[in-house]
Structure 1
């Protein structure tokens, strides 16, 4: 079988080192000396790269290493497929690589690999990123099943996102759920497909919208464009009838150079200037943080005090 190539870590494999005529024991010595990190037995990466990687990237390294060692080609599934497709997760990935198996009884079959069987007969696998993986609609369903609505919504939003180059459609997700039929937790995925939008700005924004829905507030317009003399601005959430804007402040915005061009203080200054422009247009601006969405009572008070309307079924 073809061995998958990991594009990020350039994993060092003991068997490949031996085939090249070098001594694989050098890898163990470098690991013992602290220069390498062991991903799994016989697979190593440069420790500095490992330490700099986020949880998703580290899990991907485990996926590639497990695929390298597989006796036969397997289908990456579950949270491991979510890592491949970059579907947002809000829990740890875990150390086991999840793969799909139609005929076995599930559970661990070997160290570091966990076999899944749920609705395996309805799974479609494709080649992606050098791996064989459940396709995006199936991966979204697997990740969303059984999870709270905010997490399920984040998965479905990413599945259909305009920012996702491999995006699928609500119709494709629903068609597959129709084929699967009954499965624990699948009703939550159906609910998420009713709320999903293709323009969510992040997994955090999707999660926040899920909490807002569960609290009984009306769904906001997403990525609302507003204009003034200086040009266009976009708000994460907007309730047009009451002229309220919601801005989700994921902690990553000010800490990650991708969002602030290397200067978090400059980013904060620009955001404050932008907020002043929005208020000058007559809008109320409320900021929603991770702490707020993790404390629904606090978020409900913030939205209610700003005048965000309730869904009709939640009104007296």
Structure 2
């Protein structure tokens, strides 16, 4: 028997290793060889034989950060042996939730029966929220709706809390039918009196689960902030569009590259080119029905003024087209 065969949630403890006759020297050697990675004191992630990548790595930098955080959270939760549960962004990771403005370098846990707060390297232990916890793959974890609210209440690296993080997470869980609006309302009651909850409650009034990605939720928030009235996921014949301005023939699409290969496990460049070709055909068909289509990119979202200018140009184009036919 070796370490990967006794790993749970991808991690083993030094005590697990000792029972197999593997001591501190051998653990250090295995870490040096890249077969183990030390997550916290006394806990290690294991690279199972036959896997092309170690579990703490991914095909992209984002995947690597996400995978490492999941293993770090697993090690921490197991090390507390029933005395703490994953919370905040760490709970979102375990629940496969949508992440925005979540610091994956730091894991967050809630104590289950203590009011003490503790900070350690790469981890924060919060007081108990006096709420039953759930489990994900055997790991204690706060419920999805609670985690969604927590990420909008916490400061990040000294910066103010970002309620938009709660909207992104809640929208994702609602879209995937992991939670409903009643779950969200009940979770907000848990944080009644928290200084940041009014802002989170206000932004979560817009959580509806209609948006299919982080980018779409952020674009919807941006459009609302700019004063636009729109319908999300509007139907046009065989097509469904991200946003349509109310009363105007203007369609707004979020142009996140990931959406084009979303139905493929590992899209190749040729797959993406074909998907882009289909998307162009779809857009041409929409234009032929008299609509102006404007595309908003991730970069645009960082500058609402750019979004405003693009939408206004589309509105002006639609007005000109209307005037020329009347």
Structure 2 distance, partners of 1:28, 1:255, is 41
Corresponding residue for residue 180 of structure 1: 191
Corresponding residue for residue 311 of structure 1: none
- 1:5 maps to 2:8: yes
Q: CA deviation at 1:302?
A: 1.2
CA contact (8 A) 1:160 1:198 kept: yes
Deviations, residues 42-92 of structure 1 (Å, cap 9, x unaligned): 303336432224322221111111122225431211111121123322235
Change (3 A) 1:254 1:238: same
Residue in structure 2 matching 1:272, options 280, 288, 301: 280
Structure 2 distance, partners of 1:299, 1:150, is 18
Q: CA deviation at 1:271?
A: 1.1
Deviations, residues 282-305 of structure 1 (Å, cap 9, x unaligned): 211110111111101111111222
Change (3 A) 1:248 1:100: same
CA contact (8 A) 2:77 2:140 kept: no
Q: CA deviation at 1:126?
A: 1.5
Structure 2 distance, partners of 1:111, 1:296, is 36
SS of 2:310 mapped into structure 1: helix
Q: CA deviation at 1:246?
A: 1.2
Aligned length: 292
Structure 1 distance, partners of 2:205, 2:25, is 55
- 1:292 maps to 2:300: yes
Structure 2 distance, partners of 1:149, 1:269, is 37
Structure 2 distance, partners of 1:45, 1:92, is 25
CA contact (8 A) 1:40 1:65 kept: yes
Q: Which moved more, 1:280-289 or 1:12-21?
A: 12-21
Deviations, residues 180-203 of structure 1 (Å, cap 9, x unaligned): 322122122222232122221111
Corresponding residue for residue 67 of structure 2: 57
Q: CA deviation at 1:260?
A: 8.1
Alignment of 1:47-126 (within 5 A): 48-52=54-58, 53-101=63-111, 103-108=114-119, 111-117=121-127, 120-121=129-130, 123-126=131-134
- 1:157 maps to 2:163: no
Structure 2 alignment gaps of length 5 or more: 1-5, 48-52, 155-160, 317-326
CA contact (8 A) 1:82 1:139 kept: yes
Structure 1 distance, partners of 2:7, 2:121, is 19
Structure 1 alignment gaps of length 5 or more: 309-316
SS of 2:306 mapped into structure 1: helix
The CA RMSD over aligned residues, in Å, is 2.7
Q: CA deviation at 1:22?
A: 4.2
Corresponding residue for residue 142 of structure 1: 150
**TM-score normalised to structure 2 length:** 0.79
- 1:16 maps to 2:32: no
Structure 2 distance, partners of 1:306, 1:97, is 43
Structure 2 distance, partners of 1:113, 1:254, is 36
SS of 2:252 mapped into structure 1: strand
SS of 1:241 mapped into structure 2: coil
Structure 2 distance, partners of 1:259, 1:205, is 21
Structure 2 distance, partners of 1:188, 1:302, is 29
Structure 2 distance, partners of 1:203, 1:69, is 32
Structure 2 distance, partners of 1:172, 1:49, is 33
Structure 1 distance, partners of 2:214, 2:173, is 11
SS of 1:95 mapped into structure 2: coil
